[in-house]
Structure 1
């Protein structure tokens, strides 16, 4: 799932063609004067799905069949037809009428366009625009036609659809999310394959990621940080009851939607550790270096929910201080610090941090999993207690065991 599953920076490639300064046959307005208006109308929003004319032009340009001047000529004619109240002719038809393309060339381009469009045809859905792109595919905003609701659809990259290992991982994510039903986890709706295109439809969440909030404004208010951690803790508790470990908890995989609701997303690395799951995954360094647990950094296969609690602790640290617990020039250096170094005390980076909240965060960040909270439910107890205390109310639960020693660091023999 990706950035989060909806995140991604898209850039539009600038045109390399020469500027057009001529005029088109039969068009009285000089091309140079109309070009800015055409550029504004036809400039491709990097996230919007291309229309048929844009697909045709791209395919023709890839084959070296059309020049920028010829394309501008066709666009100008379409603009003139709009001004006259007429429906513009398709670009392929115009290019043939202008003798810029032979009929057989136009047909070949149209066949290529149809192949491209096939990847964006998912039965029962209308794709509207691209929300993000990742190494395994793209995520689109779409309308589910039978229920008339907006959804997010993740589509596996075409070149990966013939790789059964990637197909299995992609469909595994759909099955994992399908097992979960919780207000703090992005909900899965549907998954399948359509003419070689693998897709997964899920809840569409409109809102920023936690990472974007931190990048924009730095450290969060403590009460807000507690609330977000509490919500994600409940999500992990639900996943834990289903025998699942997320393995990539981080600010970029937490979305903040309307009402301040936190949604945990992108379970592409999730592992089923329930009894009888048949999981035989070998150890590998999975996760994001800034938030990775020591056991994940070592590539251990037998990680459990305590690894997710460490990553959530690193996320809480980031929310309270404005920076992750460890930094370095490359991922390897950061992972070594997760293994061997204690984090800078929160008070040193934010003197206003509540001492009890600091204790909770450091407990989550213990190097040894045995020194952390053993279950998300234990974390939730302490979070509910501190929330009540900060409201001036008595804590509703007995506190959990004390904070673990930060040093000396226990090392594996």
Structure 2
């Protein structure tokens, strides 16, 4: 089964907790704090594996969680970091945030990686909080929670040439003629429900290129009709399009059908409509196709489209079409590959602290302050006192006063709630 879309949940490992410890050694009467830091949580990493061609594995598993860091120990021992979780994906995988639809990464090269969720840092042990004022701190930080999110994986095939056209135009038959691919072929619409890939190999001294048979498009494909969105996505990466038309006009007029498909390409993406196209006038083994050939050429060639007569059924003209494709690929070179955005998008961190009033509750938001609260042991009086000092230093008290907070009102930061006092 060809699976080209998946939604998965990724959770990086939490950081290990720092510990409170003091040296208790013989002949060291006044041993100082010796609590070690917790280890970092493991990242969730997506990595391109050229041996994969679909997102099939994600159909059976949707949740992925990396290892958490170990807690620190006494004698200033740091906890072991959690192992990264590496998830393998096929070349051509686009990673999106499931909630916002924002593109996070476009993974095309074998071995390319993207950190989908970062592990939390380990909490600091009490030895890290020694100061001239406080030489025996009795608190430590908890580990930072690892990032978690739902992401969408979309596969866009990496092929040099895309075969497009109406259902039953003969794309799958042509693919089987050009390559060793053996797609399912039958005489009814939508026989091909998934893209098929094949490699045209011209021998040891010749050229080779990858061809994708894109399932038949129909009018309204850009709006999703006939699984249009699912199919059009795979055309985006191709460098040259071979537009196969039923020259015999058995189901629709070949010239009219040609323009219908091109309007769908343009409606989906302007870049698609601008890709170089070779017109393969198929079914030349039928007399109707030969009769229509001159009309097809006279209407399309003046507009800059080269028409190559072929018969996918008998093999007539297929070799000429392959040489024409090679000419186009040489002419285009790597210029068309600009549609493949080999970028890495980092997960944005909102640092701005803001206060929103929801009824009688004052909600304080901001990654930095939320992280500080979650890493504080709220059962430890010294740790809470340090947190209050941080609130003051970061100007949160002033922001709350601006919103009209009063003595005894509730302040919520993340999942923690506090009562406001002057």
The bucket for the TM-score relative to the shorter chain is under 0.3
Q: Which has the higher contact order (CA 8 A, sep 6+)?
A: 2
* TM-score (normalizing by structure 1): 0.25
**Bigger strand fraction:** 2
